[in-house]
Structure 1
Amino acid sequence: MAAPHPDSRRPGYLAAAAVFAVGMAGTTLPTPLYGIYRTQIGFSELMVTVIFAVYAVGVITSLLLAGDYSDRMGRRPVILCALGLAAAADLCFLFEAGLPALFAGRLLSGFSAGLLTGAATAVVLELAPPGRAARAGFAATAANMGGLGCGALLAGVLAQYAPAPSRLVFAVHLALLAAACALARLLPETVAGPRRLSPGRPRGMAVAPEARGVFPSAAVAAFAGFALLGLFTAVAPSFVAETLGIDDLALSGAVAFSAFLASTLGQLLTGRLGVRRSLPAGCLILVAGLLLVGASLVAERLPLLLAGALVGGFGQGLAFRAGLTAIGAAAPPEHRGGTISAFFVVAYAGIAVPVVGVGALTLVLGLRNAGLVFTAVVTVLALGVGLYLLRRPPTGEPSPTR
């Protein structure tokens, strides 16, 4: 059960969104650094995607086992635990000494993100004052995507222009996490009467009955959109370096950042278009972005890749926020964290499964052809759900009051 509206003198939903963004930024710090690790340690493109997928496995495991913990224990302790796990992940990369450290760091980062996504999204929505539900929804999704994009950009810039390219960024992020923890401790608790966990079956992935009408289509749209983001955070840096011959870590980080920036802009427009129009439109714009990515692989042109990142990211953001808003509005407060966590389980499966498939296909088809197979499959999926949503628009607009 949600608590009454918190004391306005304490930090509000924007502060919670800032904490969310700092936590999520850590999950994409390794994106432009995989080339350095490949040179130092020596492994294939398939191993890059496997290391990346370990993160998604950590996210999904955390969501499945603990996705509703914040509904029962309270939002604040779960957020603090997630930030602690993010710090542990940074330490693994800061003192990295081979593949085991990379796997451990990505797994811990996944656990952190899994705890943070449901709890932080819920607390941002719940701290919104009356009449600010739509703004809070944007703040939550923008913190998620914006944090992911800023992590890749920060790592790329520091790796290219500062000393200790594979380590400095993690020290910087540890300092940001310390500030985020201090801010998180000041956040009001929005769960009334949080209780200790009782033994029994984990209930992390629990879709509230009230949200089951909109959940399937919104979740499939999220799967397709996150598959595109996974491509840009795991494989695109290798494409930039190996196929385009551009050895610039800052540029690799900027390519990934552009997809997340466009996602944030798409989320901003969602509030104006509404859920019913944004969800199908986002899917169809995502299709256009995927086609541009495919064209960039054929023509081997960086401008087409950037265009695909911007258009595809915009469509992903439009559909992602619409789906999350509809699900958050449909789920009652006592089941909101678990329902949002279930939504992210499907989304992060979109990051893991297709990207590992691309890595495996590179061994047989090469990087470019594997990317073309990926874009074809995800295009069909996004087009299918987009056409379905045109015929059966979703319901679940947020109410004007919290």
Structure 2
Amino acid sequence: MTRTPAQDPGVTDDTCNDRRARTRFWLIALAFLITMIGTTLPTPLYALYQQHLGFGPTWVTLIFAIYAAGVIFALLAVGSWSDQLGRRPMLLAGLAMGALSALIFLCTDSIGGLLVGRLISGFSAGIMTGTGTVAVIEAAPKRWQGNATLVATAANMLGLGLGPLLAGLTSQFLPWPVHLAFVVHLVLLLAATAAILSVGETVQRPAKPRLAFQRPSLPAAVRGPFIPAAIAGLAGFSVTGLFTSLVPSIMRQVMGHDGGVVIGAVIFVLFAGSVVGQAWVRRIRDSAQMSIGCSVLIVGVACLGMSIASAQLWLLVLGGALSGIGQGLTFRAGMGAVANAAPAGQKAGVTSALFIVYYLSMSVPVIAVGVSIPQFGLHHSAEFFSVLVALVAVVAMVSMNVVRARASNV
């Protein structure tokens, strides 16, 4: 006979509530991770698309650019809607967009189809990025509240890293090399949808929701931590843009590695490093987190540039790991400070505003590199990009120290 909490002296109502809270917390984080897997699935497949459709690396960066445009549009259009409609409806909308993108990739046989699929994938990421981050933080049980931001940002970055790894495995060893990964992702999205349907709402909805296109603006309480977080993100997310758009071409054309698993694994190292950096950030005092993160990022980008110049895979892996750690340190420190400073009714909107800066940082430099490739070649363009990102990281570190010094003198 099943015993209820009242019948079983070892099980209290508080214990049951804690279990339900933990389950909800991890289910939302898992759904967030699964959605983000889909946003990087095509990365190791671009070479196969290039062979079949006959386009060059410039088109790869344009396909990446339209994904970033979709993310930014979604963040601006619906980034604050979960504050009005609730987290769960917007999480379900993000999952639906991810499924639609996967279906388009399953059916497309043209560059136009790839562009549309990536645009819809960008909508999915834009909806989930702001909403998912805040939903995970809000759903955290008491014992996990200190690590809730880590779980949210780690789910984001780990999902981005697992996408290329999954697609690399399926494209190299299994049938349907350009399609199977999207079939697997559709199954995962179905499971994630069931998970979100089973959890409760994490925010109190207003009686009369106000839905509007979000104009980038910040409450006064957020502006202080927002500025250094945005500056550091400019350097860190530029590197993630390089890895998810140009590294497959660099590995094939410069280093002679064309296996999907190897490419996926190298890209995964960057995002795994980001998770390590995010976990490490709490061991560093607040005033030093950004400076240490930028310093590690500069060393990582230097290794990246040397790997391209020398065509050495081990330097690329080392550069990816260090760049990821530096990006993770700055990302987690900035996100935590901004989320903590945001007013209760504006958390999703403020988080979305920060991700708009991050995705602009991820896309604009990569587009510039893609446009320069026909003129200067992949090799020299990527080297120049590495030097530029290192300089931006130096400027970010100096700027943050100046901002901190001015704040302390006020």
TM tier relative to shorter chain: over 0.9
Q: Do residues 127 (structure 1) and 139 (structure 2) align?
A: yes
Q: 1:185 matched to which residue of 2?
A: 197
Partners in 2 of 1:274 and 1:163 — Cα distance? 50
- Alpha-carbon deviations, 1:225-272, whole Å to 9, x = none? 111011011000111011111121111111111100000110010122
Q: 1:302 matched to which residue of 2?
A: 313
Contact 1:118 1:337 in 2 (8 A): yes
Q: Do residues 35 (structure 1) and 47 (structure 2) align?
A: yes
Evaluate the alpha carbon distance shift between residue 388 and residue 172 of structure 1 in structure 2; reply closer, same or farther with a 3 A threshold: same
Superposition deviation, residue 298 in structure 1: 1.0
Superposition deviation, residue 390 in structure 1: 3.7
What letter corresponds to residue 327 of structure 2 in structure 1? Q
Structure of greater relative contact order (alpha carbons < 8 Å, 6+ residues apart): 1
Superposition deviation, residue 393 in structure 1: 4.3
Superposition deviation, residue 277 in structure 1: 2.1
Superposition deviation, residue 329 in structure 1: 0.5
Q: 1:157 matched to which residue of 2?
A: 169
Evaluate the alpha carbon distance shift between residue 204 and residue 271 of structure 1 in structure 2; reply closer, same or farther with a 3 A threshold: farther
Q: 2:289 matched to which residue of 1?
A: 278
Superposition deviation, residue 32 in structure 1: 0.3
Q: Do residues 387 (structure 1) and 401 (structure 2) align?
A: no
Contact 1:218 1:323 in 2 (8 A): yes
Q: 1:399 matched to which residue of 2?
A: none
Partners in 2 of 1:202 and 1:338 — Cα distance? 11
Q: Do residues 108 (structure 1) and 113 (structure 2) align?
A: no
Partners in 1 of 2:320 and 2:215 — Cα distance? 32
The structure 2 residue matched to 1:139, chosen from 111, 129, 151, is 151
Task: Report 1:190-339 matches (<5 A).
Answer: 190-195=202-207, 197-198=209-210, 201-203=212-214, 205-339=216-350
Evaluate the alpha carbon distance shift between residue 126 and residue 359 of structure 1 in structure 2; reply closer, same or farther with a 3 A threshold: same
Q: Which has the larger radius of gyration?
A: 2
Partners in 2 of 1:317 and 1:299 — Cα distance? 27
Q: 2:13 matched to which residue of 1?
A: none
Partners in 2 of 1:174 and 1:371 — Cα distance? 34
Partners in 2 of 1:361 and 1:330 — Cα distance? 40
The structure 2 residue matched to 1:362, chosen from 365, 373, 378, is 373
Q: 1:174 matched to which residue of 2?
A: 186
Superposition deviation, residue 196 in structure 1: 5.7
Partners in 2 of 1:124 and 1:373 — Cα distance? 38
Q: Give the secondary structure class of the aligned counterpart of 1:165.
A: coil
Q: Give the secondary structure class of the aligned counterpart of 2:275.
A: helix
Superposition deviation, residue 274 in structure 1: 4.4
Superposition deviation, residue 187 in structure 1: 2.1
TM-score (norm 2): 0.92
Partners in 1 of 2:208 and 2:105 — Cα distance? 33
What letter corresponds to residue 202 of structure 1 in structure 2? F
TM-score (norm 1): 0.93
| Residues matched between the structures, number | 390
Evaluate the alpha carbon distance shift between residue 48 and residue 326 of structure 1 in structure 2; reply closer, same or farther with a 3 A threshold: same
Superposition deviation, residue 193 in structure 1: 2.7
The structure 1 residue matched to 2:389, chosen from 378, 384, 391, is 378
Partners in 1 of 2:265 and 2:134 — Cα distance? 29
Q: Do residues 65 (structure 1) and 71 (structure 2) align?
A: no
Partners in 2 of 1:70 and 1:233 — Cα distance? 28
What letter corresponds to residue 268 of structure 2 in structure 1? F
Question: Gaps (5+ residues) in structure 2?
Answer: 1-15
Q: CA RMSD in A?
A: 1.8
What letter corresponds to residue 91 of structure 2 in structure 1? I
Contact 1:24 1:144 in 2 (8 A): yes
Contact 2:84 2:210 in 1 (8 A): no
Question: Gaps (5+ residues) in structure 1?
Answer: 1-5, 396-402
Partners in 1 of 2:27 and 2:167 — Cα distance? 23
Q: Do residues 21 (structure 1) and 23 (structure 2) align?
A: no
Contact 1:67 1:204 in 2 (8 A): no
- Alpha-carbon deviations, 1:178-206, whole Å to 9, x = none? 0000001122212113456446x512634
Q: Do residues 84 (structure 1) and 92 (structure 2) align?
A: no
Q: 2:61 matched to which residue of 1?
A: 49
Contact 2:35 2:159 in 1 (8 A): yes
Evaluate the alpha carbon distance shift between residue 89 and residue 204 of structure 1 in structure 2; reply closer, same or farther with a 3 A threshold: farther
